[in-house]
Amino acid sequence: MAYLSRYRTAPGAGTLAALLLVLVFGSPAYVNWAQSSTDSNTAGGWFMRLLAWPAWRFDADDSVQQVIADDIKAILLVILSFAFLAILPAARSGSQFLQGWAAYIFAAATAGLLAAFVQTGPTLLNAFQAAGTGAIYGLFVGWIVGAASLGGVRRTTVAA
């Protein structure tokens, strides 16, 4: 008989961190605050604005297609974070941090790339630029997902 382990899993913990990052820092309230209250010419302001990259919204002055593309990017970031965390080979605790961080970089770059094709007037250049922006976001924010997945177990079932 198999049952779920009482221990947290590395993919589960990393995905929860990714979901919280997207919900909090991608929210319209945070995005509006970051755009109006930070200076993009300072390191802190640049980072605060970068945190808002997976912005999601339900209503906007932009086209419906643009709003859907932004929402898809945020959703894909969470889903792909779980997928990359789950498919990367099991790691010991020292390298779990790097594994979670790398998974988030890959997830952000892939989400940016795929969401770019849903935007109005998609081009291959725009898709590459969106993937690059996603990779930069993952590089500077992914350590949070790496830290969250640190120490998680890789197996979710045990035999009785």
Beta strands in 11-104, from DSSP E residues, in sequence order:
none
d(CA 94, CA 58): 40
Question: CA separation (Å) from 156 to 86, 102, 132, 150?
Answer: 11, 22, 34, 16
Confidence of residue 1 (pLDDT cuts 50, 70, 90): very low
**Mean pLDDT of all residues in 30-49:** 95
Tally Cβ neighbours within 10 Å of residue 94. 9
Confidence of residue 156 (pLDDT cuts 50, 70, 90): very low
Closest CA to 99 of 81, 113, 77, 76: 81
pTM (2 d.p.): 0.85
Identify residue 40 by its one-letter amino acid code. S
Of 10-19, 59-68, 137-146, which gets the smallest average pLDDT? 59-68
pLDDT tens digits, residue range 79-109? 999 999 999 876 666 688 889 999 999 999 9
Residues listed for the chain: 160
